[in-house]
């Protein structure tokens, strides 16, 4: 693989821990990824067809610190890093990331449905956490959004990956943290949602400049599903769809992630009786 200023988008099947070593220092402009949580996850929601395959490196989190060091190395100065996690693995990722990056927020993604888990002994999980960190200093694009993001999850019947993230949510983060033609890295690409989000950003913006993507995925089944879905392994600017005209865009309401600001009202205040 050749990494230079002429780099086009690429989806590479292989071990990200080895592939990251080949990426030059300060080559990418954003890292957006959903790593394994070290919980040996297996989705049991598949009914219409067989269960989705499990994914590698999900037994423990001993790799996190060295992986974060590689992420820091390949990111340019003044760039952002988004890392999905959950309540019980948050401390591991936070400690490793905060050692090198400045953690700015813990974003909360609220889904339209909840997971399973302990049906009788715990609250139904309906959210995930996203660590938002910065290398150097970089402003977010556009208006200041809330740290609570409401976005529908991918219906289980349409998933190619057990923890597949919605393109709409990923596109929102890409648009907040990149400029045209910058490179987005996802070292745990799964079925390619980050790549699709990069292409979707281009379609929504209506220009020929794209957010280029560099995707790594160990499981060839996931990569093959992305290719079948239309995610080329080598995407060029000339191969992108022609930009839409303002007349074509105007009639349609843009599909965006809802951000919610929660404000307490006087009659909602919880008073504690300390007597």
Which residue segments constitute the domains of the chain, with CATH numbers given?
9-263 (3.40.50.150)
pLDDT in tens, 118-164: 778 888 888 999 999 999 999 999 999 999 999 998 766 666 667 78
User: Which residues does residue 134 pair with via DSSP β-bridges, in sequence order?
Assistant: 80, 102
Q: What is the CA radius of gyration of the chain?
A: 19
Q: Which residue has the higher pLDDT, 39 or 124?
A: 124
The answer, yes or no, to whether residue 274 has pLDDT greater than 70, is: no
Mean pLDDT of the residues in the chain: 80
Contact, 256 vs 46, CB < 8 A?
A: no
Give the pLDDT of residue 261: 66
Question: Percent of the chain at pLDDT above 70?
Answer: 72
Instruction: Find the mean pLDDT for residues 69-83.
Output: 98
Strand 127-135's sheet: what is its strand order? 234-235, 9-13, 212-217, 183-186, 28-33, 75-85, 127-135, 102-110, 148-150, 258-259
pTM above 0.85, yes or no: no
Q: What angle do CA 216, 136, 4 make, to 5 degrees?
A: 45
Greatest CA separation for the chain: 72
Residue 180 has pLDDT above 60, yes or no: yes
pLDDT value at 270 more than 60: no
Distances (CA, A) of 40 to 36, 37, 59, 217: 8, 8, 5, 17
Q: Write down the residue that tokens 């560099």 correspond to.
A: 214
Q: Hey, which of 80-84, 141-145, 236-240, 248-252 has the most confident mean pLDDT?
A: 80-84
Strand partners, 12: 216
- E-strand ranges in the chain read 9-13, 28-33, 75-85, 102-110, 127-135, 148-150, 183-186, 212-217, 234-235, 258-259
243 contacts: CB under 8 Å, gap ≥ 6: 206, 207, 208
- 3-state SS assignment for residue 183: strand
Give the residue, 64 or 46, on which the prediction is more confident. 64
Contacts of residue 107, defined as CB under 8 A and 6 or more positions apart, other chains included, come to: 82, 129, 130, 131, 132, 147, 148, 149
Contact 233, 10 (CB under 8 A): yes
Q: What is the pLDDT of residue 244?
A: 38
Q: Of 159, 162, 205, 213, which Cα lies nearest the Cα of 184?
A: 213
Do residues 201 and 210 make contact, with C-beta atoms less than 8 angstroms apart?
Answer: yes
Is 3 exposed, middle or buried, given 0-12, 13-18 or 19+ CB atoms closer than 10 A?
Answer: middle
The listed range with the strongest mean pLDDT (26-40, 110-124, 153-167) is: 26-40
d(CA 115, CA 138): 35
What's the average model confidence in pLDDT over 18-42? 88
Region of poorest pLDDT, from 90-94, 116-120, 185-189:
116-120
Work out the number of other CB atoms within 10 angstroms of the CB of residue 235: 20
pLDDT of residue 239: 43
Whether 23 has a pLDDT exceeding 90, the answer reads yes
pLDDT for the residue numbered 209: 55
Provide the pLDDT for residue 160. 67
- List pLDDT tens digits, range 212-240: 999 999 999 888 888 887 776 544 334 44
């Amino acid at each position: 693989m050749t990494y230079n200023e002429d780099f086009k988008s690429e989806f590479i099947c292989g071990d990200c821990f080895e592939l990251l070593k080949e990426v030059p220092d300060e080559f990418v402009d954003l890292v957006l990824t959903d790593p394994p949580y070290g919980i040996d996850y297996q989705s049991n929601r598949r009914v219409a067809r067989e269960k989705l395959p499990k994914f590698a490196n999900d037994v423990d989190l001993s790799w996190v610190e060295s992986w974060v060091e590689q992420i820091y190395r390949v990111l340019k100065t003044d760039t952002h890093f988004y890392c999905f996690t959950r309540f019980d693995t948050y401390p591991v990722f936070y400690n490793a990331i905060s050692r090198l990056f400045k953690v700015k927020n813990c974003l909360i993604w609220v889904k339209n449905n909840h997971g399973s888990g302990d049906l009788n002994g715990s609250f139904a999980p309906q959210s995930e956490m996203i660590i938002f960190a910065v290398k150097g200093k970089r402003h977010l694009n556009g208006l200041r959004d809330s740290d609570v993001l409401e976005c529908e999850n991918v219906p289980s019947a349409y998933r190619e990956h057990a923890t597949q993230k919605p393109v709409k949510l990923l596109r929102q983060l890409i648009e907040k943290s990149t400029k045209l033609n910058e490179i987005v890295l996802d070292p745990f690409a799964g079925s390619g949602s980050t790549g699709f989000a990069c292409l979707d950003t281009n379609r929504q913006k209506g220009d020929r400049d794209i957010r280029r993507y560099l995707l790594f995925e160990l499981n060839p089944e996931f990569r093959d599903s992305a290719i079948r879905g239309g995610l080329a392994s080598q995407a060029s600017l000339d191969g992108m769809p022609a930009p839409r005209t303002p007349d074509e865009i105007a009639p349609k309401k843009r599909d965006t992630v809802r951000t919610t600001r929660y404000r307490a009202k006087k009659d909602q205040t919880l008073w504690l009786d300390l007597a």
